[in-house]
Protein backbone atom coordinates (compact mmCIF):
# COMPACT_ATOMS: atom_id res chain seq x y z
CA UNK A 1 0.00 0.00 0.00
CA UNK A 2 1.61 3.28 -1.10
CA UNK A 3 1.88 6.21 1.26
CA UNK A 4 0.17 9.40 0.12
CA UNK A 5 2.72 12.16 -0.37
CA UNK A 6 1.75 15.61 0.89
CA UNK A 7 4.04 18.63 0.48
CA UNK A 8 3.96 20.94 3.50
CA UNK A 9 4.90 24.58 3.31
CA UNK A 10 4.16 28.21 4.13
CA UNK A 11 2.61 30.66 1.69
CA UNK A 12 1.86 34.34 2.17
CA UNK A 13 -1.50 35.96 1.61
CA UNK A 14 0.17 37.86 -1.24
CA UNK A 15 1.01 34.52 -2.90
CA UNK A 16 -2.66 33.60 -2.99
CA UNK A 17 -3.58 37.07 -4.26
CA UNK A 18 -1.05 36.69 -7.09
CA UNK A 19 -2.33 33.23 -8.02
CA UNK A 20 -5.93 34.43 -7.97
CA UNK A 21 -5.11 37.48 -10.09
CA UNK A 22 -3.26 35.28 -12.59
CA UNK A 23 -6.27 32.90 -12.64
CA UNK A 24 -4.08 29.98 -11.60
CA UNK A 25 -5.99 29.35 -8.35
CA UNK A 26 -9.21 27.33 -8.52
CA UNK A 27 -11.61 28.13 -5.69
CA UNK A 28 -13.38 24.84 -6.23
CA UNK A 29 -16.76 24.43 -4.56
CA UNK A 30 -16.65 20.64 -4.82
CA UNK A 31 -15.18 20.09 -1.40
CA UNK A 32 -16.90 22.99 0.34
CA UNK A 33 -17.97 21.73 3.73
CA UNK A 34 -21.50 22.07 5.04
CA UNK A 35 -22.31 25.35 6.70
CA UNK A 36 -22.41 27.62 3.68
CA UNK A 37 -21.07 31.13 3.43
CA UNK A 38 -19.51 32.69 6.50
CA UNK A 39 -21.43 35.45 8.26
CA UNK A 40 -19.89 38.96 8.58
CA UNK A 41 -18.83 38.28 12.19
CA UNK A 42 -16.78 35.24 11.20
CA UNK A 43 -15.12 37.21 8.41
CA UNK A 44 -14.29 40.09 10.74
CA UNK A 45 -12.83 37.64 13.26
CA UNK A 46 -10.59 36.12 10.58
CA UNK A 47 -9.10 39.49 9.54
CA UNK A 48 -8.42 40.36 13.19
CA UNK A 49 -6.77 36.94 13.69
CA UNK A 50 -4.48 37.56 10.74
CA UNK A 51 -3.58 41.09 11.85
CA UNK A 52 -2.65 39.73 15.27
CA UNK A 53 -0.46 37.07 13.66
CA UNK A 54 -2.36 34.21 15.27
CA UNK A 55 -2.51 30.80 13.58
CA UNK A 56 -5.51 29.57 11.65
CA UNK A 57 -6.27 26.04 10.39
CA UNK A 58 -4.21 24.52 7.58
CA UNK A 59 -5.24 25.25 4.00
CA UNK A 60 -5.29 22.24 1.64
CA UNK A 61 -4.43 22.67 -2.03
CA UNK A 62 -4.10 20.17 -4.85
CA UNK A 63 -1.72 20.73 -7.72
CA UNK A 64 -3.37 20.47 -11.09
CA UNK A 65 -1.82 19.98 -14.50
CA UNK A 66 -0.19 23.13 -15.82
CA UNK A 67 -2.24 25.25 -18.20
CA UNK A 68 -0.87 24.70 -21.71
CA UNK A 69 -2.08 28.09 -22.87
CA UNK A 70 -0.59 30.28 -20.16
CA UNK A 71 2.17 27.79 -19.30
CA UNK A 72 1.33 28.42 -15.64
CA UNK A 73 0.90 25.82 -12.89
CA UNK A 74 -2.60 25.64 -11.40
CA UNK A 75 -3.68 24.91 -7.86
CA UNK A 76 -7.09 23.85 -6.62
CA UNK A 77 -8.34 24.79 -3.15
CA UNK A 78 -9.80 21.71 -1.50
CA UNK A 79 -10.14 23.17 1.99
CA UNK A 80 -9.95 26.87 2.81
CA UNK A 81 -12.33 28.44 0.31
CA UNK A 82 -14.14 30.64 2.83
CA UNK A 83 -10.91 31.90 4.37
CA UNK A 84 -9.56 32.86 0.97
CA UNK A 85 -12.84 34.34 -0.28
CA UNK A 86 -12.93 36.49 2.86
CA UNK A 87 -9.42 37.77 2.22
CA UNK A 88 -9.99 38.42 -1.46
CA UNK A 89 -13.24 40.30 -0.84
CA UNK A 90 -11.51 42.40 1.83
CA UNK A 91 -8.28 43.12 -0.06
CA UNK A 92 -9.73 43.54 -3.56
CA UNK A 93 -13.26 42.38 -4.38
CA UNK A 94 -12.44 42.31 -8.10
CA UNK A 95 -10.34 39.23 -7.39
CA UNK A 96 -13.60 37.30 -7.13
CA UNK A 97 -15.12 36.71 -10.54
CA UNK A 98 -18.46 35.91 -8.88
CA UNK A 99 -18.29 38.75 -6.35
CA UNK A 100 -21.70 39.47 -4.83
CA UNK A 101 -21.81 42.50 -2.48
CA UNK A 102 -24.73 41.09 -0.49
CA UNK A 103 -22.81 37.89 0.16
CA UNK A 104 -19.16 38.94 0.15
CA UNK A 105 -18.86 42.52 1.41
CA UNK A 106 -18.20 43.10 5.12
CA UNK A 107 -16.32 45.38 7.51
CA UNK A 108 -14.17 44.55 10.51
CA UNK A 109 -16.18 45.03 13.70
CA UNK A 110 -14.93 47.34 16.45
CA UNK A 111 -15.50 44.58 19.00
CA UNK A 112 -12.79 42.56 17.22
CA UNK A 113 -10.35 45.33 16.39
CA UNK A 114 -11.20 49.02 16.89
CA UNK A 115 -8.15 50.05 14.84
CA UNK A 116 -9.55 48.34 11.74
CA UNK A 117 -13.25 48.95 12.35
CA UNK A 118 -15.20 50.14 9.31
CA UNK A 119 -12.02 50.72 7.29
CA UNK A 120 -11.50 49.19 3.88
CA UNK A 121 -8.18 47.50 3.12
CA UNK A 122 -7.08 50.52 1.09
CA UNK A 123 -7.79 52.84 4.02
CA UNK A 124 -5.59 50.90 6.45
CA UNK A 125 -2.19 52.27 7.47
CA UNK A 126 0.68 50.94 5.38
CA UNK A 127 2.05 48.74 8.14
CA UNK A 128 -1.27 46.96 8.65
CA UNK A 129 -1.74 46.33 4.93
CA UNK A 130 1.79 44.94 4.79
CA UNK A 131 1.12 42.75 7.82
CA UNK A 132 -1.95 41.22 6.18
CA UNK A 133 -0.22 40.57 2.85
CA UNK A 134 2.83 39.04 4.57
CA UNK A 135 0.82 36.75 6.85
CA UNK A 136 1.82 33.14 6.20
CA UNK A 137 -0.61 30.24 5.98
CA UNK A 138 0.40 26.70 6.76
CA UNK A 139 -0.44 24.84 3.56
CA UNK A 140 -0.57 21.17 2.64
CA UNK A 141 -0.33 20.54 -1.09
CA UNK A 142 -1.61 17.30 -2.60
CA UNK A 143 -0.11 16.05 -5.85
CA UNK A 144 -2.12 15.97 -9.11
CA UNK A 145 -2.38 12.20 -8.76
CA UNK A 146 -4.51 12.47 -5.63
CA UNK A 147 -8.06 11.89 -6.85
CA UNK A 148 -11.35 13.07 -5.32
CA UNK A 149 -11.84 9.83 -3.41
CA UNK A 150 -8.47 10.31 -1.72
CA UNK A 151 -9.40 13.89 -0.78
CA UNK A 152 -12.69 12.79 0.75
CA UNK A 153 -10.89 10.02 2.62
CA UNK A 154 -8.46 12.59 4.06
CA UNK A 155 -11.32 14.71 5.38
CA UNK A 156 -13.15 11.68 6.73
CA UNK A 157 -10.06 10.73 8.73
CA UNK A 158 -9.55 14.31 9.93
CA UNK A 159 -13.08 14.29 11.31
CA UNK A 160 -13.15 10.74 12.71
CA UNK A 161 -11.75 11.41 16.18
CA UNK A 162 -15.13 10.60 17.72
CA UNK A 163 -14.94 13.70 19.94
CA UNK A 164 -18.25 15.50 19.78
CA UNK A 165 -18.21 19.27 20.15
CA UNK A 166 -19.55 20.36 23.51
CA UNK A 167 -22.14 23.17 23.77
CA UNK A 168 -19.55 25.87 24.43
CA UNK A 169 -17.43 24.78 21.47
CA UNK A 170 -20.55 24.97 19.31
CA UNK A 171 -21.24 28.49 20.58
CA UNK A 172 -17.64 29.43 19.83
CA UNK A 173 -18.11 28.26 16.24
CA UNK A 174 -21.50 29.94 15.79
CA UNK A 175 -20.95 33.36 17.34
CA UNK A 176 -18.20 35.89 16.65
CA UNK A 177 -19.57 39.07 18.15
CA UNK A 178 -19.47 41.20 21.27
CA UNK A 179 -20.57 38.67 23.88
CA UNK A 180 -18.29 35.87 22.72
CA UNK A 181 -15.32 38.24 22.58
CA UNK A 182 -16.10 39.51 26.08
CA UNK A 183 -16.52 36.08 27.67
CA UNK A 184 -13.41 34.65 26.05
CA UNK A 185 -11.33 37.65 27.09
CA UNK A 186 -12.65 37.67 30.66
CA UNK A 187 -12.08 33.93 31.11
CA UNK A 188 -8.59 33.87 29.62
CA UNK A 189 -7.49 36.84 31.73
CA UNK A 190 -7.83 34.61 34.79
CA UNK A 191 -6.20 31.51 33.31
CA UNK A 192 -3.51 31.29 36.04
CA UNK A 193 -6.25 31.32 38.68
CA UNK A 194 -8.32 28.60 37.02
CA UNK A 195 -5.17 26.48 37.03
CA UNK A 196 -3.95 27.37 40.51
CA UNK A 197 -7.39 26.84 42.04
CA UNK A 198 -7.78 23.59 40.08
CA UNK A 199 -11.35 24.42 39.09
CA UNK A 200 -10.61 22.98 35.65
CA UNK A 201 -8.27 20.37 34.26
CA UNK A 202 -6.17 21.25 31.23
CA UNK A 203 -8.50 19.24 29.01
CA UNK A 204 -11.44 21.27 30.35
CA UNK A 205 -9.65 24.52 29.54
CA UNK A 206 -8.77 23.27 26.07
CA UNK A 207 -12.47 22.65 25.52
CA UNK A 208 -13.50 26.10 26.77
CA UNK A 209 -15.20 25.02 29.99
CA UNK A 210 -13.86 28.07 31.86
CA UNK A 211 -15.45 30.26 29.18
CA UNK A 212 -18.79 28.55 29.72
CA UNK A 213 -18.63 29.09 33.49
CA UNK A 214 -17.70 32.74 32.95
CA UNK A 215 -20.77 32.98 30.71
CA UNK A 216 -22.87 31.53 33.52
CA UNK A 217 -21.61 34.26 35.83
CA UNK A 218 -22.59 36.89 33.25
CA UNK A 219 -26.06 35.31 33.16
CA UNK A 220 -26.14 35.49 36.97
CA UNK A 221 -25.44 39.24 36.85
CA UNK A 222 -28.05 39.80 34.15
CA UNK A 223 -30.83 37.44 35.26
CA UNK A 224 -30.13 36.33 38.83
CA UNK A 225 -29.64 32.84 40.18
CA UNK A 226 -30.69 30.34 37.50
CA UNK A 227 -30.33 26.69 36.63
CA UNK A 228 -27.62 25.81 34.18
CA UNK A 229 -29.34 25.83 30.82
CA UNK A 230 -27.59 25.43 27.49
CA UNK A 231 -30.54 27.00 25.61
CA UNK A 232 -30.42 29.99 27.98
CA UNK A 233 -26.69 30.43 27.33
CA UNK A 234 -27.26 30.09 23.59
CA UNK A 235 -29.89 32.82 23.79
CA UNK A 236 -27.58 35.01 25.85
CA UNK A 237 -24.91 34.78 23.13
CA UNK A 238 -27.51 35.39 20.43
CA UNK A 239 -29.10 38.41 22.10
CA UNK A 240 -25.76 40.12 22.76
CA UNK A 241 -23.84 39.14 19.64
CA UNK A 242 -24.18 42.51 17.88
CA UNK A 243 -24.28 44.77 20.93
CA UNK A 244 -23.34 43.96 24.52
CA UNK A 245 -24.10 47.23 26.27
CA UNK A 246 -23.36 45.92 29.78
CA UNK A 247 -19.98 44.56 28.73
CA UNK A 248 -17.66 46.93 30.63
CA UNK A 249 -19.54 46.69 33.93
CA UNK A 250 -19.96 42.90 33.78
CA UNK A 251 -16.27 42.40 32.99
CA UNK A 252 -15.31 44.75 35.83
CA UNK A 253 -17.58 43.03 38.34
CA UNK A 254 -16.39 39.60 37.27
CA UNK A 255 -12.79 40.68 37.89
CA UNK A 256 -13.73 42.16 41.28
CA UNK A 257 -15.30 38.90 42.49
CA UNK A 258 -12.37 36.86 41.20
CA UNK A 259 -9.97 39.22 43.00
CA UNK A 260 -11.97 38.86 46.21
CA UNK A 261 -11.80 35.07 46.01
CA UNK A 262 -8.06 35.21 45.40
CA UNK A 263 -7.35 37.75 48.14
CA UNK A 264 -9.66 36.44 50.87
CA UNK A 265 -10.06 32.70 50.37
CA UNK A 266 -7.76 30.95 47.92
CA UNK A 267 -4.92 30.45 50.41
CA UNK A 268 -7.09 28.68 53.00
CA UNK A 269 -7.13 24.89 53.35
CA UNK A 270 -10.94 24.85 53.11
CA UNK A 271 -10.72 26.34 49.63
CA UNK A 272 -10.12 22.89 48.15
CA UNK A 273 -13.85 22.12 48.34
CA UNK A 274 -14.47 24.83 45.76
CA UNK A 275 -12.76 22.72 43.13
CA UNK A 276 -16.24 21.29 42.68
CA UNK A 277 -17.85 23.56 40.13
CA UNK A 278 -21.23 23.58 41.90
CA UNK A 279 -19.61 24.98 45.04
CA UNK A 280 -17.52 27.49 43.12
CA UNK A 281 -20.67 28.75 41.40
CA UNK A 282 -22.36 29.19 44.80
CA UNK A 283 -19.28 30.95 46.20
CA UNK A 284 -19.16 33.38 43.29
CA UNK A 285 -22.91 34.00 43.53
CA UNK A 286 -22.77 34.67 47.28
CA UNK A 287 -19.85 37.09 47.00
CA UNK A 288 -21.65 38.84 44.15
CA UNK A 289 -24.70 39.18 46.41
CA UNK A 290 -22.54 40.68 49.16
CA UNK A 291 -20.61 43.10 46.95
CA UNK A 292 -23.30 44.14 44.44
CA UNK A 293 -26.61 42.42 45.13
CA UNK A 294 -28.10 39.82 42.84
CA UNK A 295 -30.81 41.34 40.67
CA UNK A 296 -29.69 44.93 41.14
CA UNK A 297 -28.98 47.26 38.22
CA UNK A 298 -25.77 47.09 36.25
CA UNK A 299 -25.07 50.78 36.54
CA UNK A 300 -21.39 51.50 37.13
CA UNK A 301 -20.76 51.67 40.87
CA UNK A 302 -18.17 50.69 43.43
CA UNK A 303 -18.49 47.33 45.12
CA UNK A 304 -19.30 47.01 48.82
CA UNK A 305 -16.60 45.70 51.16
CA UNK A 306 -16.78 42.09 52.28
CA UNK A 307 -17.11 41.87 56.09
CA UNK A 308 -14.74 39.57 57.95
CA UNK A 309 -17.77 37.70 59.29
CA UNK A 310 -18.78 36.78 55.74
CA UNK A 311 -15.35 35.31 54.99
CA UNK A 312 -15.42 33.41 58.28
CA UNK A 313 -18.88 32.09 57.42
CA UNK A 314 -17.76 30.90 54.00
CA UNK A 315 -14.78 29.12 55.56
CA UNK A 316 -17.06 27.50 58.15
CA UNK A 317 -19.48 26.34 55.43
CA UNK A 318 -16.61 24.96 53.34
CA UNK A 319 -15.19 23.13 56.36
CA UNK A 320 -18.52 21.51 57.19
CA UNK A 321 -18.98 20.43 53.59
CA UNK A 322 -15.47 18.99 53.54
CA UNK A 323 -16.12 17.10 56.80
CA UNK A 324 -19.61 16.07 55.65
CA UNK A 325 -21.12 17.64 58.77
CA UNK A 326 -23.24 20.06 56.75
CA UNK A 327 -27.02 19.43 56.70
CA UNK A 328 -28.05 16.44 54.66
CA UNK A 329 -30.06 18.58 52.24
CA UNK A 330 -26.89 20.55 51.44
CA UNK A 331 -24.76 17.46 50.93
CA UNK A 332 -27.49 15.89 48.79
CA UNK A 333 -27.71 19.05 46.68
CA UNK A 334 -23.96 18.92 46.05
CA UNK A 335 -23.95 15.26 45.01
CA UNK A 336 -27.20 15.26 43.03
CA UNK A 337 -27.86 17.13 39.79
CA UNK A 338 -26.39 20.32 41.20
CA UNK A 339 -26.99 22.51 38.16
CA UNK A 340 -30.73 22.67 38.88
CA UNK A 341 -32.04 25.91 40.35
CA UNK A 342 -33.35 24.13 43.46
CA UNK A 343 -29.98 22.57 44.31
CA UNK A 344 -28.09 25.77 43.49
CA UNK A 345 -30.43 27.73 45.77
CA UNK A 346 -29.92 25.28 48.66
CA UNK A 347 -26.12 25.58 48.44
CA UNK A 348 -26.26 29.37 48.03
CA UNK A 349 -28.57 29.78 51.05
CA UNK A 350 -26.28 27.62 53.16
CA UNK A 351 -23.46 30.14 52.63
CA UNK A 352 -25.89 32.94 53.50
CA UNK A 353 -26.90 31.16 56.69
CA UNK A 354 -23.35 30.28 57.85
CA UNK A 355 -22.19 33.85 57.21
CA UNK A 356 -25.13 35.29 59.13
CA UNK A 357 -25.78 37.49 56.12
CA UNK A 358 -29.16 39.12 55.65
Residue 35's region, left for phi above 0, alpha for psi from -120 to 50, else beta, is left
Q: Across residues 79-92, what is the average pLDDT? A: 94
Among 126, 158, 190, residue at a domain's last position: 158
The share of the chain scoring above pLDDT 90, in percent, equals 76
Total number of domains constituting the chain: 2
| pLDDT of res. 147 | 82
Among 110, 134, 158, residue at a domain's last position: 158
Range of 143's domain? Answer: 6-158
pTM of the model: 0.82
**Does 233 fall in a domain?**
yes
Structure confidence by residue, pLDDT tens digits, 269-298: 889 999 999 999 999 999 999 999 999 999
Among 158, 192, 210, residue at a domain's last position: 158
Structure confidence by residue, pLDDT tens digits, 121-168: 999 999 999 999 999 999 999 988 888 888 877 777 766 666 688 999
Residue ranges of alpha helices (H) inside 190-339 are 191-197, 202-206, 209-223, 230-239, 247-264, 277-291, 308-322, 328-335
| Co-location of 22 and 136 in the same domain | yes
pLDDT tier at 47 (50, 70, 90 boundaries)?
A: very high
| Co-location of 62 and 138 in the same domain | yes
Residue 56 has pLDDT above 50, yes or no: yes
| pLDDT of res. 35 | 46
| Co-location of 112 and 244 in the same domain | no
| Co-location of 206 and 114 in the same domain | no
**Does 347 fall in a domain?**
yes
pLDDT tier at 29 (50, 70, 90 boundaries)?
A: low
**Does 345 fall in a domain?**
yes
**Does 271 fall in a domain?**
yes
Residue 207 has pLDDT above 60, yes or no: yes
| Co-location of 145 and 209 in the same domain | no
Residue 200 has pLDDT above 70, yes or no: yes
Amino acid sequence: MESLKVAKGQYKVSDFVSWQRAKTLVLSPRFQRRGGVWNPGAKSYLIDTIVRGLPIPIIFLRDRLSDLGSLEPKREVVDGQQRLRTLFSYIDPTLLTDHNPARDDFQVKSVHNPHLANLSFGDLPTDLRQRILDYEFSVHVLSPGVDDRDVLNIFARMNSTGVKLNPQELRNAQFHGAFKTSMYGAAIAHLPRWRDWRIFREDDIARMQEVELTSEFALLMLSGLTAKSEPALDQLYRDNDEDFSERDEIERRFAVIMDTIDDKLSGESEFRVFRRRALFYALFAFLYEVQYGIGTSLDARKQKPVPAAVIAGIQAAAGSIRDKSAPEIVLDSITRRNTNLQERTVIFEYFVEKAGYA
